[in-house]
Structure 1
Amino acid sequence: MKKTWIMTQEWHHVLFLHWPVSPEKVRTYIPAELEMDLYNHQAWIGVVFFQVKGNRPRFIPPLPGFKSYLELNVRTYVTYKGKKGVYFFSLDANHPFVVELANLGGFLPYRNAKISFKKHKKTFSLYSKYERPNESILTTFKPNAKPLESTRLNTWLTERYCLWTKTKGRLFRVEITHTPWKLQNVNGLVYENTMAPYLKENFSMKRPIAHYSTMKKARFYPPILEK
């Protein structure tokens, strides 16, 4: 049976920052039904930023005031019955009404945060702050013009086409489709990073693996209750 997508959006100026962490630090914070997906025996934390544009449900044009916002998410990588995907610790957006709608029923951990994103010549600056608890990140970066050749690691980190979330004791899967990523390397610095302090792993002081992509159009499908 062919599945029908229910929502679409474009992701612009996508920045991936990744750090390896001890699996033991992560296991406590993901649902017991999910297995951790490890690379070289390490769990990975991804901090991913993008600007949402063209956000809309199927058959409905973008609604004024809801079609564009900034988002920063913190995630790790998991499997369920052999299927690979993503588990989100948090999804921060700078649009309170988008956060309120996304939080209906407690389905996804969206939070209202202050996020700014600016460009000066060819260099971008990103600052995000969520106040309860204090989680923030400040970085400047410049993408390299030359496209990056795919490697096993950057494919493993970025080519993920479903997410899981658990609400009211039930595990759901949401599938996403888009074309494969065209990544670029990034030159930059992370000046401040207090994201995911509950993991009690000082990954913020380490240099991340960083990738950038100009734009990606994605489609989302109805949630599926896992059995």
Structure 2
Amino acid sequence: MVAHGAEQRVRLPALRAGWLTQTFVHWPFRPEAVQALLPEELVVDTYDGAAWVGLTPFVMADVRLPGVPAALPGLPTFAETNLRTYVRYRDGRDGLWFLSIEVAFLPMLAARAIGAPYNPGTLSVSTDGDTVSYSGTRGNGDASYRLIVRRGDPIEPTERDVWLTSRWRAYTRRLGTLWETPVEHEPWPLAHATLDLLEETLTTAAGLEEAPLGEPVVHFSKGVRQVRLGLSTPRIPWRVRQPS
């Protein structure tokens, strides 16, 4: 089972922020198709027999170092969009694997040091009543997206809703080392959402060229404001002990 609330306290955060105006668009895929995009240390996680890939545009708000108050004027706020899937490490710990991350704030590219697949680009998020519009184009022009949703009433999350939206660590890989980054925040306040428009080439750019198994599942969230991203740590490879 996946926990609705954070599985661990991040007592020494590396970064604090808010994740606001977030939409989750999830498609089911054959597990084999998604597994082919993962490093050998990770196994694709499944729900109802399918692997799920999520397109999640949002606003990264009031990004700051630990100890800096959120009310300080001039803190960076910018758009970000993730293409992600769900995985488990060899010890069973579940988490996120990012197929790509689009961002409109160049300092975030520093996370490439641990393998986070950040791509600089031009991104926008705008709201008009209950309609939220997202768009983005990767800096090198090889991927883009445009998404318009109508947000609806709040929902009480089902088991599948929690499984699709609640993960408390991310895995990345750089130079043969797998890294784990913990995250802590309040549970997502979820709402119904309806797709008015979706055009995207992020999935094919990530190497996922086959069609999904079904229609997308869509959620909207006004967001969470107390996000604590922990220090990334390397996972020590498991080794099979030889009999003496």
Segments of 5+ residues of structure 1 without an aligned counterpart are none
Where does 1:1-227 land on structure 2 (aligned, <5 Å)? 3-60=11-68, 67-80=76-89, 81-99=91-109, 101-103=110-112, 105-130=113-138, 132=140, 134-144=142-152, 146-197=153-204, 198-203=207-212, 207-216=215-224, 217-227=226-236
* TM-score normalised over the length of structure 2: 0.84
- Structural RMSD (CA): 2.2
* Residue 224 (structure 1) shift: 1.8
Amino acid at match of 1:40: D
* Residue 138 (structure 1) shift: 1.2
| Distance in structure 2 (CA, Å) of the matches to 1:60 and 1:168 | 33
Amino acid at match of 2:25: L
Amino acid at match of 2:111: A
Amino acid at match of 2:28: P
Amino acid at match of 1:98: M
Identity %: 28
| Distance in structure 1 (CA, Å) of the matches to 2:148 and 2:63 | 26
Amino acid at match of 1:91: I
* Residue 149 (structure 1) shift: 1.5
* TM-score normalised over the length of structure 1: 0.90
| Distance in structure 2 (CA, Å) of the matches to 1:186 and 1:171 | 35
Indicate if the aligned counterparts of 1:21 and 1:44 stay in contact, CA closer than 8 A.
yes
| Distance in structure 2 (CA, Å) of the matches to 1:2 and 1:156 | 21
| Distance in structure 2 (CA, Å) of the matches to 1:61 and 1:35 | 39
Indicate if the aligned counterparts of 1:94 and 1:114 stay in contact, CA closer than 8 A.
yes
Segments of 5+ residues of structure 2 without an aligned counterpart are 1-8, 237-244
Q: How many residues align?
A: 223
Amino acid at match of 1:48: T
* Residue 59 (structure 1) shift: 2.1
Q: Which has the larger radius of gyration?
A: 2
| Distance in structure 1 (CA, Å) of the matches to 2:139 and 2:62 | 28
Q: Which of 179-188 and 69-78 deviates more?
A: 179-188
Indicate if the aligned counterparts of 2:10 and 2:182 stay in contact, CA closer than 8 A.
no
| Distance in structure 2 (CA, Å) of the matches to 1:122 and 1:2 | 34
CA deviations 1:187-207 (Å, max 9, x no partner) are 22233121120111223x964
| Distance in structure 1 (CA, Å) of the matches to 2:121 and 2:75 | 16
| Distance in structure 2 (CA, Å) of the matches to 1:158 and 1:208 | 14
| Distance in structure 1 (CA, Å) of the matches to 2:122 and 2:99 | 18
Indicate if the aligned counterparts of 2:145 and 2:199 stay in contact, CA closer than 8 A.
yes
Indicate if the aligned counterparts of 2:57 and 2:80 stay in contact, CA closer than 8 A.
yes
Amino acid at match of 2:107: F
* Residue 85 (structure 1) shift: 0.7
1:2–1:181 Cα change, 3 Å: closer
Indicate if the aligned counterparts of 2:27 and 2:216 stay in contact, CA closer than 8 A.
yes
Indicate if the aligned counterparts of 2:102 and 2:119 stay in contact, CA closer than 8 A.
yes
